[in-house]
Structure 1
């Protein structure tokens, strides 16, 4: 697969991952972190550093607080590589050591040691760029040693680290060591076939080491072989830039300025497509081998490009810092949102708990009030019952007194008169005179009068003059008291056919309380001036009608308060029925039907 095909493949994978995130709406943090890491990797291999850094940081933010510490370290490694590529060497160094610290804390399985090797290799690159060559050699050596101990095929990775180490030895001017390592790589007979691009790179570096050591036997043919291979595998000529510069240096040293300038300009022409450090090297080389004016021109271009690259590097580093800052700000916002949600949850729970407690308290108070009301009702009922008993005692006492009076009247009046009339008739029993006859007629008339008196007394004894009048007297006393307090006039019609002595005390108490409540409602709502109470007996049903001349109300729209509810409750307890008939400004009539039980 060539470079273009690889890039197209990466972009297809990136597009597929983005669509997956949108369609699946991943809510799992670790799942989302995995996708972000994969996007970071794909963007890195596509040389899109900004996007790669962005998605690596998104993944890092999730992994940082998770138990997936290996994935966290791998993500940090990806960030470190991007920082190295963009010349943020100090940032890459810090990130790399952070990843190493995490990996050191884990069990040293193959995967952990593999990423330690990768990170050591990155640190070798970083310290090389920082011109700390001893440190660079140290970390490249660690990387190579770890890779050689890994399970699996890591030959290519080992060769890459050896090539990097050899280049550091060239910079240290320890070219013999560099040549030794390049010979190790080039001893692989299959390298040219399997990795032609890398083979060309190694061959060029090997030539550089030979050139620096003064060994020119294989030069420049070795360079031309490397250049031929590089041009055959590189679609844009990028791999041949360094080799062209090395050839230019060779010819410049050997006094062939024309060929030196030819290959130097060729390197410059190719590197202008990329505007990077290779172009800097080409311009610096031309400033050395060209004539004065042209050399000065190339030197100025070198300085200008160098300043531009430094500015770009600072811009990129600032961009990375901004991504970090924005990521931290987003994280802070998320933490704040999480805290706000937690407090909202706590407050909601507290409010619900408070509402439940308040409901329980109110409900308990309501029950207590209801219980107290029932107790008060019971006490009131007992008072009414006692009042009725007292009234009954008064009635019984009145009956006794009346019987005594009648007895005395019979004994002292009627019986005395009878005795006197009997004695007079006895004395005239045998007399036949006209006076005697007239006197007997007089006494007979007197006996008739006495007979009428006896009949009258008998009738009075036979009719219980207080029978049933006790409860009605209690009701009348209630109505008298309340109508006087409410400034109402009243009329009361009582059907004498109702035997109140046969009505249970429970029913009497409820009737009493219903009348009491009705009077209270009339006073409170009706604004009446007169009320009429009627008691009738219809087929073993006591009918109580209470009619007022008040304001009235619309029955269909009326909201029944606690007073009417209490009346309904009492009616239900005695199996009665209540009706309301009312019109505005025409008063209200309440009809209550109570069966005699």
Structure 2
């Protein structure tokens, strides 16, 4: 019977499992309860239930910690311990928890590693399509990260899954990808695994020459790099012997099996491999000698070891080999017994490939039931072939769909980046346009204020010019009157005085008295006229500032428009010629607006206006005893807003105090220092 025992694949899985080993015992720290729990959970000398309890406690502590890189690293340790204790459900939950936490922190490397853990979980629970899916997701992450070591490991895991499902071409391609990625690296154990997988696949495809080439490369690599921690040399020798066994070269097979069995501590350290080698050695020896009297000691010893280790898969092969052995020795009863045991175990495992081998052997040793076994064999074989075709297509579809999802994700990410970019650009443009518009509006407002100020100054200058013309006319008129008085009246009076003086020649008493009386009167008139003339000239020189005159004119107008009594007080020490025209204009306009409001709304009987110096401020106070209003409830109309704006233009303050029926007091305080003219 052709040997189809996939030892290469099984050992590959064992090697992958060895990556979840007990080498992190160094984490132990007696002062740290988490480290203590993790170390006890990883110690084989501790009873299983206690180890599991310690690992559960470690998980509880980690869940209470912050989601940082150290916490996630400890979660991986917890997952490893669940895996080693064969608590695969907890291993799966912990792995999914790591993915959740790693995604929350954008820890891509941890996400990829957790995908590998989930792939290992499904690979060990016979859900090969799910395992392949998670390995493919991890592969895409490690490609982006350019993580050669982990990418090579993922390709090896994918190749193992594909080879197990008889997708040999896909598995071969994945293993070659692993070699290409790892070729320049120092990851010799992973390169060794890739060679083993390629050797196994070539053996299954009956390309024995190529299979021997790959297994020989793996053997040389293990010897040259001292890769014997997990008995890689013995494993490779077994794999090479298996290829020779399938070729019918039993002598070469026996030579390799015997060399592998000479490995030190093989039985104590790797009893499963030891049992495989015994079974293979026994089978090759049996096929070579064709001696029906050869004792089945090697088969029985292998079966005993496998049974003690609960290696059901190996037990099936041991039973089939024993059935073959006893059939060759014409012991039909025992041949049937071992064939039925193999069939029972194969059906328990629910692995169709194992069931097919057991059915074939049962049909051989029970010819009376051969038709029954044959029909069942054909049914299972057809189903298996359909499943294999589907799983091959499914692997290709998973890889294709994963690529599509990643491409779609990348496309969406790019679209999101573009949207964010254009959205940000639009916001920036909007802000820029807003700033430009605001700046333009501010500039326009500033220009308008400047124009308004210029207009106010022009108006004020025009008012000053008009007032100056009026004053000039008044002064000219006064001069003319003074000249008339001086040149006309005084001249005539002087002549009269002379004439009267000539009468002094009369010496009678009456004439003298009359003349003296007139002379005294004329002198008095002359003096009065001279004083008037001098007063007129002094008044002209006293009119040294037209602002006061303009305000007086405004008050005169108010008295003509209203029946209210107006009192006006002005501090004579104010040096108006030193103040900016802007201050005078705004004070004048505020006073004008205040009087207009009094006329419109106040119905006041008395108005008091006062301009004075208070400290370093010039104050204008307008007070009336009119109706008043509620300052808090009163909406600021255009008039009040203009008054406030004019006060602010002079760096001053506007204060309005009023109550219904209590009159109104408006006070404008303007700092003098900031409003002095500069030459």
TM-score surpassing 0.5?
yes
TM-aligned CA distance change 1:499 to 1:221, over 3 Å: closer
Alignment-derived partner of residue 508 in structure 2: 432
d(CA) in 2 for partners of 1:209, 1:140: 19
For the residue of structure 1 that corresponds to 2:579, the secondary structure is: helix
TM-score (norm: length of structure 1): 0.78
2:487 to 388, 391, 411: 411
Residue among 136, 146, 152 paired with 1:73: 152
C-alpha distance after superposition, 1:123-154 (max 9, x if no partner): 12223333444433332232223222222426
**Which residue, 356, 380, 393 being the options, matches 1:280?**
356
Aligned position for 1:335 = 410
1:504 to 547, 556, 577: 577
Secondary structure in structure 2 of the residue aligned to 1:158: helix
- Alpha carbons of structure 1 residues 86 and 160: separation in structure 2 relative to 1, 3 Å: same
The answer to whether the aligner puts 1:143 opposite 2:226 as a matched pair is no
Matched with 2:378 is 303
Task: Write the distance in 2 (CA, Å) between the matches of 1:592 and 1:320.
Answer: 89
Deviations 1:376-403 (A, max 9, x none): 4664465356446635753346424422
Note if 1:198 corresponds to 2:278. no
- Check conservation: 2:346, 2:354, Cα contact below 8 A: yes
Give the alignment partner of residue 543 of structure 2, picking from 448, 463, 467.
467
Q: Is the 8 A contact 2:574 2:612 kept in 1?
A: no
Partner residue of 2:67?
none
Q: Residue 667 of structure 2: SS of its match in structure 1? A: strand
CA distance in 2 between counterparts of 1:451 and 1:231 reads 155
In structure 1, the residue matched to 2:610 is 536
Report if aligned partners of 2:123, 2:131 keep a CA contact under 8 Å in 1: yes
SS at match of 1:272: helix
Contact 1:527 1:551 in 2 (8 A): no
1:61 aligns with 2:135: no
* Residue 91 of structure 1 pairs with residue 167 of structure 2: no
CA distance in 2, matches of 1:269, 1:229: 17
> Could you tell which deviates more after superposition, 441-450 or 402-411?
441-450
**Which shows bigger deviation, 180-189 or 95-104?**
180-189
Which deviates more, 268-277 or 123-132?
Answer: 123-132
Distance 2:505 2:277 in 1: 181
Shift of 1:430: 1.2
2 CA distance for matches of 1:428 and 1:41?
155
* Aligned length, in residue pairs: 582
Aligned to 1:545: 622
Alpha-carbon distance in structure 1 between the residues aligned to 2:505 and 2:602 = 68
SS in 2 for 1:153: coil
Q: 1:360 to 1:185 in 2, by over 3 A?
A: same
5 Å-filtered alignment, 1:60-459, equals 60-104=139-183, 106-107=184-185, 109=186, 112-153=187-228, 156-186=231-261, 191=266, 195-213=270-288, 215-216=290-291, 219-222=294-297, 224-226=299-301, 228-230=303-305, 232-235=307-310, 237-253=312-328, 255-276=330-351, 277-292=353-368, 294-314=369-389, 316-317=391-392, 320=395, 323-324=398-399, 327-328=402-403, 331-332=406-407, 334-336=409-411, 338-340=413-415, 342-343=417-418, 345-347=420-422, 349-350=424-425, 353-354=428-429, 357-358=432-433, 361=436, 364-365=439-440, 368-369=443-444, 372=447, 375-376=450-451, 379-380=454-455, 383=458, 386-387=461-462, 390-391=465-466, 393-394=468-469, 395-396=471-472, 398-427=474-503, 429-430=505-506, 432=508, 453=529, 456-457=532-533, 459=535
> Which region of structure 1 is more displaced relative to structure 2, 421-430 or 431-440?
431-440
Distance between the aligned counterparts of 1:538 and 1:114, measured in 2? Answer: 101
SS at match of 2:231: helix
Asked if the contact 1:271–1:279 (Cα under 8 Å) also holds between the matched residues in 2, the reply is yes
Change (3 A) 1:340 1:155: closer
Structure 2's unaligned 5+ residue stretches are 1-43, 49-81, 674-679
Distance 1:197 1:508 in 2: 110
TM-aligned CA distance change 1:62 to 1:490, over 3 Å? farther
The answer to whether residue 647 in structure 2 is matched with residue 568 in structure 1 is yes
CA 1:280–1:223 in 2, change beyond 3 Å: closer, same or farther?
farther
Shift of 1:363: 6.3
Q: Distance in 2 between matches of 1:594 and 1:347?
A: 52
Q: In structure 2, do the counterparts of structure 1 residues 145 and 570 end up closer, same or farther at CA, with 3 Å as the change threshold?
A: closer
Contact 1:126 1:136 in 2 (8 A): yes
Please tell me whether the aligned partners of residues 89 and 126 of structure 1 are also in contact (alpha carbons under 8 angstroms). yes
Shift of 1:273: 0.9
Please give the alpha-carbon distance, in whole angstroms, between the structure 2 residues aligned to 1:177 and 1:357: 84
Q: Conserved in 2, the CA contact under 8 Å of 1:475 and 1:512?
A: no
CA shift, 1:411, in A, is 1.1
Using a 3 Å threshold, how does the CA distance of structure 1 residues 174 and 182 change in structure 2: closer, same or farther?
Answer: same
Deviations 1:140-190 (A, max 9, x none): 232223222222426722322332333333333344433343343345586
Greater mean alpha carbon deviation, residues 7-16 or residues 80-89: 7-16
Q: 1:567 to 1:548 in 2, by over 3 A?
A: farther
What's the secondary structure of 1:592's corresponding residue?
A: strand
1:578 corresponding residue in structure 2: 654
**What is the rounded CA distance, in whole Å, between the counterparts of 2:662 and 2:251 in structure 1?**
126
2:219–2:237 CA contact under 8 A, matched in 1:
yes
- 2-structure distance, mates of 1:373, 1:504: 27
Aligned partner of 1:591 in structure 2 is 667
Q: Secondary structure of the equivalent of 2:217?
A: helix
Change in 2 beyond 3 A, CA 1:31/1:404: same
Q: RMSD between aligned alpha carbons?
A: 4.8
- Select the residue among 16, 29, 35 that pairs with 2:108: 29
C-alpha distance in 2 between matches for 1:439 and 1:400? 38
2:30 equivalent in structure 1: none
**TM-score, structure 2 normalization:** 0.70
- Specify whether residues 537 and 288 from structure 1 end up closer, same or farther in structure 2 by C-alpha distance, changes over 3 A only: closer
